[in-house]
Chains A and B, each alone.
Chain A
Amino acid sequence: MSDPVSFGPDLAEVFGPSQSDGGPDLVQLLTPEGERVHHPEFDHDFSAEELRGLYRDMVLTRRIDVEATALQRHGELGIWAQLLGQEAAQIGAGRALRPQDYVFPTYREHGVAYCRGVDPLRLLGLFRGVDQGGWDPNENNFGLYTIVIGAQTLHATGYAMGMQRDGVVGTGDPERDSAVIAHFGDGASSQGDVNEAFIFAASYNAPVVFFCQNNQWAISEPIERQTRIPLYQRALGFGFPGIRVDGNDVLATYAVTKAALQRAREGNGPSFVEAYTYRMGAHTTTDDPTRYRLNDELEHWKLKDPIERLKVYLRRNGLVDEEFFAQLDAEAKELGHHLREGCKALPDPKPLDQFGYVFTEMTEELAAQRDGFAAYLESFELGHSEGAHA
Chain B
Amino acid sequence: MSNTQKITLAKGLNMGLRKAMEDDDKVLLMGEDVGKLGGVFRITDGLQKDFGEDRVIDSPLAESGIVGTAVGMALRGYRPVVEIQFDGFVYPAYDQIVCQVAKYTYRSQGKVKMPIVIRIPFGGGIGAVEHHSESPEAQFAHTPGLKVVACSNPVDGYWMIQQAIAHDDPVIFLEPKRQYHADKAELDESATPEPLFTSRVVRPGDDVTVLAYGPTVKTALKCAEAAATDGRQLEVIDLRTLSPLDMAPVYESVRRTGRCVITHEAHVNLGMGAEVAARITEECFYSLEAPVLRVGAFDMPYPPSRIEEEYLPDLDRVLDAVDRTFAY
| CA A104 to CA B71, docked complex, whole Å | 12
Task: Tell whether, in the assembled complex, residue B77 and residue A144 are in contact, meaning their CB atoms are under 8 Å apart.
Answer: no
Q: Which residues of B contact A365 (CB under 8 A)?
A: 244-245
Task: Tell whether, in the assembled complex, residue A135 and residue B108 are in contact, meaning their CB atoms are under 8 Å apart.
Answer: yes
Given contacts A137-B108, A158-B73, contact A360 B68 (CB under 8 A): no
Task: Tell whether, in the assembled complex, residue B113 and residue A165 are in contact, meaning their CB atoms are under 8 Å apart.
Answer: no
In the complex, A320 has a CB within 8 A of chain B: no
Q: Which residues of B contact A133 (CB under 8 A)?
A: 107-108
Residue in B68, B80, B106, B113 whose CB lies within 8 Å of A196: B68
Task: Tell whether, in the assembled complex, residue B109 and residue A357 are in contact, meaning their CB atoms are under 8 Å apart.
Answer: yes
Which chain B residue shows the least CB distance to A208?
B72
Residue in A131, A143, A180, A199 whose CB lies within 8 Å of B62: A199
Task: Tell whether, in the assembled complex, residue B112 and residue A358 are in contact, meaning their CB atoms are under 8 Å apart.
Answer: no
Which chain B residue shows the least CB distance to A160?
B72
Which chain B residue shows the least CB distance to A159?
B72
Given contacts A154-B64, A165-B54, A363-B244, contact A148 B95 (CB under 8 A): yes
Given contacts A132-B106, A135-B108, A136-B108, contact A158 B68 (CB under 8 A): yes
Shortest CB–CB separation between residue A373 and chain B, in angstroms? 15
Most buried by A among B69, B70, B71, B168: B69
1/0 per residue, CB under 8 A from B, across A164-194: the answer is 1110000000000000100000000000110
Task: Tell whether, in the assembled complex, residue B109 and residue A155 are in contact, meaning their CB atoms are under 8 Å apart.
Answer: no
Q: Which residues of B contact A366 (CB under 8 A)?
A: 244
Most buried by B among A151, A155, A159, A163: A155
Shortest CB–CB separation between residue A118 and chain B, in angstroms? 13
Task: Tell whether, in the assembled complex, residue B54 and residue A159 are in contact, meaning their CB atoms are under 8 Å apart.
Answer: no
9-residue interface stretch from B39-47, B96-104, B223-231, B264-272: B96-104
In the complex, B38 has a CB within 8 A of chain A: no
Most buried by A among B72, B113, B144: B72
Which chain B residue shows the least CB distance to A147?
B99
In the complex, B204 has a CB within 8 A of chain A: no
Most buried by B among A134, A158, A197, A358: A158
Which chain A residue shows the least CB distance to B144?
A358
Q: Which residues of A contact B96 (CB under 8 A)?
A: 151, 154, 193
| CA A180 to CA B70, docked complex, whole Å | 15
Residue in A138, A156, A356 whose CB lies within 8 Å of B110: A356
Given contacts A136-B111, A154-B69, A158-B68, contact A358 B105 (CB under 8 A): yes
1/0 per residue, CB under 8 A from A, across B110-151: the answer is 111100000000000000000000000000000011010000
Residue in B59, B71, B109, B245 whose CB lies within 8 Å of A200: B59
Q: Which residues of B contact A136 (CB under 8 A)?
A: 108, 111-112
| CA A146 to CA B108, docked complex, whole Å | 11
Given contacts A199-B62, A360-B168, contact A158 B105 (CB under 8 A): no
| CA A135 to CA B96, docked complex, whole Å | 20
Task: Tell whether, in the assembled complex, residue A159 and residue B64 are in contact, meaning their CB atoms are under 8 Å apart.
Answer: no
Main secondary structure of the interface of A (DSSP, over half): helix
Question: Which residues from 64 to 92 on chain B have a C-beta closer than 8 Å to any C-beta of chain A?
Answer: 64-65, 67-78, 80, 92
Residue tally, chain A, CB below 8 Å to B: 46
Given contacts A157-B69, A160-B72, A193-B96, contact A357 B105 (CB under 8 A): yes
| CA A190 to CA B21, docked complex, whole Å | 37
Given contacts A154-B71, A196-B65, A197-B65, contact A203 B110 (CB under 8 A): no
| CA A157 to CA B62, docked complex, whole Å | 14
In the complex, A162 has a CB within 8 A of chain B: yes
Task: Tell whether, in the assembled complex, residue B69 and residue A359 are in contact, meaning their CB atoms are under 8 Å apart.
Answer: no
Q: Which residues of A contact B112 (CB under 8 A)?
A: 136-138, 144
Which chain A residue shows the least CB distance to B28?
A165
| CA A186 to CA B108, docked complex, whole Å | 27
Q: Which residues of B contact A148 (CB under 8 A)?
A: 95, 99-100
Q: Which residues of A contact B78 (CB under 8 A)?
A: 162, 165
Task: Tell whether, in the assembled complex, residue B76 and residue A158 are in contact, meaning their CB atoms are under 8 Å apart.
Answer: yes
Shortest CB–CB separation between residue A183 and chain B, in angstroms? 14
Task: Tell whether, in the assembled complex, residue B73 and residue A360 are in contact, meaning their CB atoms are under 8 Å apart.
Answer: no
In the complex, B32 has a CB within 8 A of chain A: no
| CA A143 to CA B112, docked complex, whole Å | 10
| CA A143 to CA B108, docked complex, whole Å | 10
Shortest CB–CB separation between residue A252 and chain B, in angstroms? 29
Task: Tell whether, in the assembled complex, residue A131 and residue B64 are in contact, meaning their CB atoms are under 8 Å apart.
Answer: no
Task: Tell whether, in the assembled complex, residue B144 and residue A156 are in contact, meaning their CB atoms are under 8 Å apart.
Answer: no
Residue in B59, B69, B111, B145 whose CB lies within 8 Å of A358: B145
Question: Which residues from 213 to 259 on chain B have a C-beta closer than 8 Å to any C-beta of chain A?
Answer: 244-245
In the complex, B33 has a CB within 8 A of chain A: no
Task: Tell whether, in the assembled complex, residue B75 and residue A137 are in contact, meaning their CB atoms are under 8 Å apart.
Answer: yes
Task: Tell whether, in the assembled complex, residue A158 and residue B108 are in contact, meaning their CB atoms are under 8 Å apart.
Answer: no
Task: Tell whether, in the assembled complex, residue B60 and residue A200 are in contact, meaning their CB atoms are under 8 Å apart.
Answer: yes
Which chain A residue shows the least CB distance to B197?
A363
In the complex, B314 has a CB within 8 A of chain A: no
Q: Which residues of B contact A196 (CB under 8 A)?
A: 60, 62, 64-65, 68
| CA A154 to CA B70, docked complex, whole Å | 8
Given contacts A143-B75, A196-B68, A200-B60, contact A360 B169 (CB under 8 A): yes
| CA A160 to CA B69, docked complex, whole Å | 9
| CA A357 to CA B104, docked complex, whole Å | 10
Task: Tell whether, in the assembled complex, residue A161 and residue B106 are in contact, meaning their CB atoms are under 8 Å apart.
Answer: no
Shortest CB–CB separation between residue A349 and chain B, in angstroms? 9
In the complex, A364 has a CB within 8 A of chain B: yes
Q: Which residues of A contact B144 (CB under 8 A)?
A: 358
Task: Tell whether, in the assembled complex, residue B65 and residue A199 are in contact, meaning their CB atoms are under 8 Å apart.
Answer: yes
Task: Tell whether, in the assembled complex, residue B64 and residue A134 are in contact, meaning their CB atoms are under 8 Å apart.
Answer: no
Task: Tell whether, in the assembled complex, residue B145 and residue A359 are in contact, meaning their CB atoms are under 8 Å apart.
Answer: yes
| CA A304 to CA B71, docked complex, whole Å | 38
Q: Which residues of B contact A158 (CB under 8 A)?
A: 68-76, 80
Q: Which residues of A contact B77 (CB under 8 A)?
A: 162
Task: Tell whether, in the assembled complex, residue B68 and residue A193 are in contact, meaning their CB atoms are under 8 Å apart.
Answer: yes
Given contacts A357-B110, A358-B145, A364-B244, contact A151 B68 (CB under 8 A): yes
Shortest CB–CB separation between residue B46 and chain A, in angstroms? 21
Shortest CB–CB separation between residue A354 and chain B, in angstroms? 8
Q: Which residues of B contact A159 (CB under 8 A)?
A: 72-73, 75-76
Which chain A residue shows the least CB distance to B80?
A158
Q: Which residues of A contact B69 (CB under 8 A)?
A: 154-155, 157-158, 161, 197, 200
Known: A135-B111, A154-B67. 4 other contacts (CB 8 A): A151-B99, A161-B73, A196-B60, A197-B69
* 11 residue pairs from A and B, CB less than 8 Å apart: A104-B72, A134-B111, A137-B111, A144-B108, A151-B95, A158-B70, A158-B76, A160-B72, A197-B68, A203-B60, A363-B197
Give the 3 A-B CB pairs with smallest separation, nearest first: A158-B72, A154-B68, A162-B76
